[in-house]
Amino acid sequence: MTTPVVQLRAITREFSGSVAVDAIDLTVERGEFTALLGPSGCGKTTTLRMIAGYLPPTSGTILLDGVDATQLPPERRNIGMVFQSYALFPHMTVEKNVAFGLRMRGVPAAEIRTRVGEVLELVGLAHLARRKPKELSGGQQQRVALARAVAIRPSVLLLDEPLSNLDARLRVQMRQELLRVQRETGLTAVLVTHDQEEALELADTMVILDRGRIVQQGPPREVFQRPSTRFVAEFLGYENFLDLPGKGPVTIRPEHVGFLAPGQKAPPGAEAVEATVTAVRFRGTDFAVTTTVGDRVLHAVTTDDALRPGASVTLLLPLAQAVPLPGDDIDARHATPDQQECPA
Ligand SMILES: Nc1ncnc2c1ncn2[C@@H]1O[C@H](COP(=O)(O)OP(=O)(O)OP(=O)(O)O)[C@@H](O)[C@H]1O
Ligand SMILES: [Mg+2]
C-alpha cells in the first residue's frame, strides 16, 4: 500500500457558528480521480479550500502525502488549483501565466522554459503562448488555468467546477481533455462538480455531499446504480419512490419504467399499473412523461411522440430494477431533500 495523497480526518469548518463542513473523512489515493458532488452550499468549495490551505479548518486533521499539513500555508503544500473563474493574471501572457508558479518556487529559468513548453503542448496551446488572457476564448483560458496548475507537478490537482463556465459542447470536449491530461501525467485529482454526467465520466471515486457531510461514496457505477438514500437517489435522477409490499421503500429510474400495449400481459418480474398522463416534456431524443396513479406521481420516459396529457396508459414497473432504500420511510416524508433530516 502506498501512502494516500490526501487524508482528511474529521475535517470541520464553521462560519460564525454554522457548520459548512461537518467532520468529513476522505482518503484520496495516488493517481486517483475523485469527484465531489452535491447541491449548492453543501460544502464542496470549502472542502477544497481547506485541502489547498486557503482556509483553516475549525477542527480536524489534513494529511498530505502522509504528513500532517493542517497548519501549512498554501505555498508550502504542493497543490495545483483550478477555479471556476479561471483567475488568470490579465496583464501576463499565456506562457508567463503558466510559468508563474514555477518562478515562485525558484525553478531555474531554463527549466521553466522547458516545462512551460511541455504543459502548453499537453493542453494544445503552444501556438498561443504569447497571447494575453483576454485574447483567448473561455475554453482556451480554461486550458491555461489547467496548464498553470499542472506545471508545478502538484501532488494533487484540485478542480473547482472548472468546466461550468463553458457551453455544453465545449464542456463535453474539455471533459475528455481533462481526462487525457490526468491519465498522461498520472496526476491525482479532486474535482468538484454539480454535473453528475461529468462525475460519472471522469471519476474513479464519486463522493456525494449533503449539508457538509459525506452521504455516499464509491465507484461511480456503484453509487449510480445503488444509491443508498433518497437524497442520493434524487440527486442522481431517480424520480420514482414507492413503498412496495414485501420490499419496503424502493426507487426506480424513470427510464426503467415501461409502457404496456393494450391487451398485453405484464412480463414476470414487472408490475402493471394503470396511470393517467398529466404532462409530456420533449427532451430532444425522448419525452419525459409525468403520470398519476391515484394520489401518487410516477415518472417515465418514452419515444412515442403521440402521447398527450389526459391519456390513460399502463405503466410497467420493473421490480427487478427497483433499488431498495432501507432506512427511508418514503410515505412519512413528502419533503424535498432540503427539508429532510440529515442522516446521522
Ligand atoms: N467565507 C464564508 N463566510 C461565511 N459562510 C461561508 C463562507 N464560505 C462559505 N460559506 C457557507 O458555507 C456553506 C458551504 O459553502 P461552499 O462554498 O463550500 O458550498 P459549495 O458546495 O461549493 O456550493 P456551490 O455549489 O454553490 O459552489 C454555504 O452555506 C456557504 O454560505
Ligand atoms: Mg462551490
The CATH number assigned to the domain holding 104 equals 3.40.50.300
Last residue of a domain, one of 198, 225, 252: 225
Say if residue 264 is in the same domain as residue 207. no
Q: What is the pLDDT of residue 168?
A: 81
pLDDT single digits (tens) 8-26: 999 999 999 999 999 999 9
DSSP string, 11-65: EEEEETTEEEEEEEEEEE-TT-EEEEE-STTSSHHHHHHHHHTSS--SEEEEEET
> In this structure, which amino acid lies at residue 281?
R
Judgement on whether residues 269 and 214 belong to the same structural domain of the protein: no
How far, in whole angstroms, is CA 300 from its chain's centroid?
25
* Pair 217, 158 in one domain: yes
Judged on CB neighbours under 10 Å (0-12, 13-18, 19+), 99 is buried
Whether residue 40 is found in the same domain as residue 163? yes
Q: How far is the CA of 167 from the centre of ligand 2 (A)?
A: 19
Segment 24-48 mean pLDDT: 95
Query: Side-chain half-sphere of 96: how many Cα atoms within 13 Å?
Result: 10
Compute φ and ψ for 336, nearest 5 degrees: -75, 165
- 3-class secondary-structure state, position 299: strand
Domain shared by 155 and 204, yes or no = yes
Return the percentage of the chain with pLDDT > 70, whole number: 94
- Determine the distance separating the centroid of ligand 2 and the alpha carbon of 340, expressed in angstroms: 22
In a domain, 337, yes or no: no
For residue 129, how far is the Cα from the chain centroid? 31
Nearest atom (ligand 1) to Cα of 39:
25
Question: In the 8-state DSSP scheme, what is residue 321?
Answer: G
Ligand nearest to the CA of 38: 1
Alpha-carbon span 200 to 117, nearest angstrom? 32
Q: Specify whether the CB–CB gap between 172 and 179 falls below 8 A.
A: no
Task: Kindly state whether residues 128 and 272 are assigned to the same domain.
Answer: no
Closest by CA to 121, choosing from 136, 143, 104, is 143
Are residue 256 and residue 316 in the same domain, yes or no? yes
Last residue of a domain, one of 225, 259, 293: 225
pTM of the model: 0.87
Nearest CA to ligand 1 atom 29: 41
User: Which of these three, 163, 193, 225, is where a domain ends?
Assistant: 225
CA of residue 308 relative to chain centroid, distance: 35
- Nearest ligand to the CA of 194 is 1
| Count of structural domains within the chain | 2
| CA dist., res. 4 & res. 19, Å (int) | 27
Segments forming the whole domain that contains residue 281: 240-329
Q: Tell me: the pLDDT tens digits for 174-195?
A: 888 888 888 888 899 999 998 8
**Do 205 and 168 share a structural domain?**
yes
Closest ligand 1 atom number to CA of residue 21: 14
Residue 247: the pLDDT is 80
Closest C-alpha residue for ligand 1 atom 7: 15
Return the ligand number nearest the Cα of 83. Answer: 2
Report the side by side order of strands in the sheet with 323-324. Answer: 240-244, 248-252, 323-324
pLDDT score at 338? 44
